[in-house]
Structure 1
């Protein structure tokens, strides 16, 4: 399988990639076609860009390549509290340099891909021909999304049985794709997560969540460095990524904004919205100058080019001493404060404890034990699409579908306060043992105090 190994004195990452070429590597690329790099959605990997790879509007006219980010899919890395979207952008640049790729177009999907693409375009403009961004996130995470992800990751990583894990996975489907996700797609997502992001890999789950939740806004100075043509595709029904942030970014970058009517989260996955995204993107890129994909030896060495990028990073973010960091390490591009790095490192260490003995929602063959839709329903309650349960029958009117709460992005001050709750000890577990008489007797003083 094709991998790019990134070695340095303080970091190691093995980045997996796949292409639409005959043998799945860049050696079989057609030099007459332009190249498109697709960045996968958050909490997924390159196997979930099949809607683009299988669409003849893209597959027949372009060389397609998709990378698994360092904490996703088949890629592997050493856990680090310094990981942020600037590090992801550096990983992409190292891969571009190592594979001797021609400048490519970028199709970035959802929060993780969008943040990486914007930073890559600002630091390495000669490697990026254009940007297409799907569902623009807020500069920092919305408060209700942050709270939901905080609780979700905790439940997900420390699930102790199949029902608990499936409940957390179902909540993840609701947050990412919405409550109306088709049952087949929902089952495929939960099965994928069960095999790739189970509790025995909870460090990877947490590290990817840290990149999303603890992100800092892109400095205004970076916009002047992004001079490529930009297309923004945004779903008007995405509650976790309100349209106003897409409009603001479109104004900053003088981009084309296309709204997908009825489009929710993860536009590139449901067949209906994925076809619209592919059609709009194919039309956008066909209007740009045709660029061949001849593989040529880089003009400067990797060390020289990355040192230059560190200088650009220092000018954009004001990170003192960035130019003097190790240019051969992706972690040198991290822009997190020392306080955040330390807290993320401590939490990753805490999640590592007992990880190898955590619950595994897979059978002996390494496949999921069951499909989510095939789970037994022993109680007399009926679970609806919005995640709530109702008694069977039609004694009451059909409840209205609840909408996600509306809120503003978290401030940097709020973000610093909430990072402390991202810990395995933040959920208190109550285990009841013994006869009911003993349990009730032991709880009477506590109950008495509660009602006084």
Structure 2
């Protein structure tokens, strides 16, 4: 469970599920690298359904990073609005520290927005973008009112007075992000118990919701910096960002070779709920842009040169994983 130092006051937690040894993670220099960025609220273990997919972990290096204010990453928590530029720069800094010169960057929801900013800041380092459930460039007034109400509701303690979210708030989050998928209930229940996102931590609540409420329009010239291949995957039943949002991003990314898929019936966190449909789309796209045959990689076990990640991290105690029930070792 390593941390990588990005600056004097930021240490980013990362995992390498494609490496059999979680304590001494390594990458294969011969494989393309995918950097994965999770959505709001959860951490990198959110991608457990992708971590257990052999087409990804046997054919590619997978490096998942907890970005600011999530998971085990250590970063100052202030009262300023959420800063996408700062977080994107930090993820690029983590890639520097890990000696990852370039990568294919995948993000879900908030992670997709960070991935987009990375491609604008350092287009030469982002080989392709996989944007899943990207949020609108700016929330409309109706969404802003609803998210403001939801934020303020997060200040209320649980029905029994404990320092956990109230049951109606948890139910609302379930519906907004996972739809009516019953398989998410156990994941959410465990998150409620283990998360730092609690009524007593108002500064964290404000910061996370700031990523929704304080977004600003991005000039078209910034979008035009993105020329790498782009995959857009979106849920047909996405509550906070309906499919029209995916089309909007498709149009903004006019300089890129882009591909778009709308998954019928899928909610916002579709990498979890609809991974059986989403994973093959991701894998086929990556195979196309990299020339890798991920199906063949599952069948072959060819010795490869290893590259240990730099000794610029420290071990930290392992916490119970939200997705531990999937049997993923991290």
Equivalent residue, structure 1, for 2:99? 100
2:269 — aligned with what? 266
**Match in the other structure for 1:427:** none
What is the TM-score normalised by the length of structure 2?
A: 0.81
Cα-Cα RMSD: 2.6
Quote the residue 1:425 is aligned against. Answer: none
- Secondary structure in 2 matching 1:288: helix
**Contact 2:27 2:308 survives alignment (8 Å):** no
Q: Equivalent residue for 1:191?
A: 190
Distance 1:27-1:50 versus aligned 2 partners, 3 A rule: closer
Contact 1:101 1:295 in 2 (8 A): no
* Corresponding residue for residue 113 of structure 1: 111
What is the TM-score with the length of structure 1 in the denominator? 0.60
**Does 2:206 align with 1:203?**
no
1:223 is aligned to 223
Rounded Cα–Cα distance in structure 1 between residues aligned with 2:27 and 2:245 = 36
Corresponding residue to 1:51 among 46, 49, 72: 49
1:336-392 Cα offsets, whole Å, 9 max, x none, are: xxxxxxxxxxxxxxxxxxxxxxxxxxxxxx999xxxxxxxxxxxxxxxxxxxxxxxx
Structure 1 CA distance for aligned equivalents of residues 23 and 226 of structure 2: 29
Give the whole-Å Cα distance in 2 for the aligned partners of 1:181 and 1:251: 31
User: What is the match of residue 171 of structure 1?
Assistant: 172
Q: Aligned pair count?
A: 292
Give SS of 2:99's match.
coil
- SS of 1:199's partner is coil
Q: 1:293 to 1:49 in 2, by over 3 A?
A: farther
Distance in 2, matches of 1:124 and 1:294, equals 27
Structure 2, gaps ≥5 residues long: 293-303, 310-319, 323-330
Change (3 A) 1:127 1:39: same
Match of 1:136 in 2: 134
Residues 289 and 367 of structure 1, relative CA distance in 2, 3 Å threshold: closer
Distance 2:39 2:308 in 1: 30
User: Are 2:105 and 2:130, in contact at CA under 8 Å, matched by a contact in 1?
Assistant: yes
Distance 2:305 2:207 in 1: 34
- Of the two, which has the highest radius of gyration? 1
Counterparts in 2 of 1:27 and 1:46: CA distance versus 1, 3 Å: closer
- Higher mean displacement: 225-234 or 158-167: 158-167
Contact kept, 8 Å, 1:107 with 1:132, in 2: the verdict is yes
